[in-house]
Amino acid sequence: MSINIPFDNTYATLPPEFYARQAPVPVQHPQLIRFNTALASELGIDGGVSDELATIFAGNALPKGAFPLAQAYAGHQFGGFSPQLGDGRAVLLGEIVDPNGHRRDIQLKGSGPTPFSRNGDGRAWLGPVLREYVVSEAMHALGIPTTRALAATLTGEMVFRQQGGLPGAVLARVASSHIRVGTFQYFAARQHIEGLRQLFEYTRARHYPDTKTPGDFLRAVIARQAHLVARWMAVGFIHGVMNTDNSAISGETIDYGPCAFMDSYHPVTVFSSIDRQGRYAYDNQREVIVWNMAQLASALIPMTPDEDAAVIDFTKAVHAMPAMIDAEWLTAFAPKIGVTHADETDRSLINDLLSIMQDGRADFTNTFRALGSPGARDQFVNPEVFDVWDTRWRARIKKENGWQERMKTANPAFIPRNHRIEQMIQSAVAGDYAPFERLLQVLSMPYSDQPGAEDLQAPPAPHEVVQQTFCGT
């Protein structure tokens, strides 16, 4: 049966300044690694699993109705502005409207060079493709807004990086859209006011139809971003490269390059090999997202009828964001200690736990999961310090009903631990995809106890610790 992807492309109707027409570059020997049949069904894609999938999702054949293009955007990268970025190793095949009426992009990542490649080869190697597949699907299972992985395909070609020759691969990614803060910056930097207006109207209608003005739109985006980053922090996630071109207007997690989950808790944890100053460290994410929203606000100002009034209005919206993030943070962390409606006393209780976790080198995920059981104190080098906190917490939790079940649904038992991801990649490079499949299966039920998977809960042994993660370009 031939695969049917019901394309309904709207981004392609925008003026040519928004993108470059670009077909994927065919590869030598496409071989499907995995196809996400559950997601395909959710999207309304028919056809089942067949050899045809490899040719489509490696970029060798275009399905009917596809309109491949590379999107243009700009962005602040580690604080420095690049006026010309764009999809340098990805093409948007097109959009579909799923059976629930939600519009989604289908993009091929690692599909070859585009006009925005800046002398790059436009390819991806197997490691980053599998990392994004596993981590994005894990984030979805954790209940955090994210892009999804539809397929991973080998190219049969080698990709050359600093490590030498590596097996090439392509990821088929699904997103509510790939419009970024940097997309707005692209037009603002060129003083292309008409393009900015067109982008605003298109994005508003697609993602925030209840908004009317740029100010309403900005506040709606800010609210989603505050929610997103608070949820990252509640599971110990570090994006690693929160450039404005990696901030999706939809409020989804996008671009899983040097991302990582913390093992032992520390607020300034950094894994990204390119984040040498710690700009995007775990606790800094709440400040960086405010900075990113300030850049969005600046990009929106030129299209407003009264720029002076817009500056005052937008500044107020951005300055309100830290308090919004604090509120979202408390909402995300309260159920992690069993609390339904948290107040400032509960915030102090949570922060005190994090402080002793930092001092005691406690594992972030396992400590929260173990609260209320004897195993919690075993997470600490000096458990007596935890005992003092535990006494306070138990006095507080007596006021809550159903706290045990609340905590089990807020504290995952399983996360994509860095050392397991690296082991999975090494096995896959050697041709063994069993660890990849096992991670996907276990991480699809992160809040469930899974007998036989205890090894995936364990922090890394000293020789397994991953010090750095890499973006894969």
Cα–Cα distance measured from residue 219 to residue 314, given in angstroms and rounded to the nearest whole number = 8
Six-digit token pair at 261? 């989950």
Cα–Cα distance measured from residue 312 to residue 267, given in angstroms and rounded to the nearest whole number = 33
Six-digit token pair at 400? 């809550």
All residues at 6 or more sequence positions from 382 whose CB lies less than 8 Å from its CB, including other chains? 360
The answer to whether residue 455 is catalytic is: no
Query: What is the Cβ-side half-sphere exposure of residue 463, based on CA atoms within 13 angstroms?
Result: 0
Cα–Cα distance measured from residue 249 to residue 276, given in angstroms and rounded to the nearest whole number = 27
What sign does the CA torsion over 322, 324, 327, 332 have? negative
Cβ(228)–Cβ(247) below 8 Å: no
Work out the end-to-end distance of the chain between its first and last CA atoms, rounded to an integer number of angstroms: 36
Angle (CA) 215-220-221 rounded to 5° is 100
All residues at 6 or more sequence positions from 119 whose CB lies less than 8 Å from its CB, including other chains? none
Residue for token pair 């009903």 = 401
Exactly one of 87, 105, 245, 346 is catalytic; which is it? 245
Six-digit token pair at 414? 């399983």
CA distances for 400 relative to 75, 392, 408, 440, 457, angstroms: 46, 14, 14, 34, 28
Cβ(60)–Cβ(23) below 8 Å: no
Residues carrying an active site annotation = 245
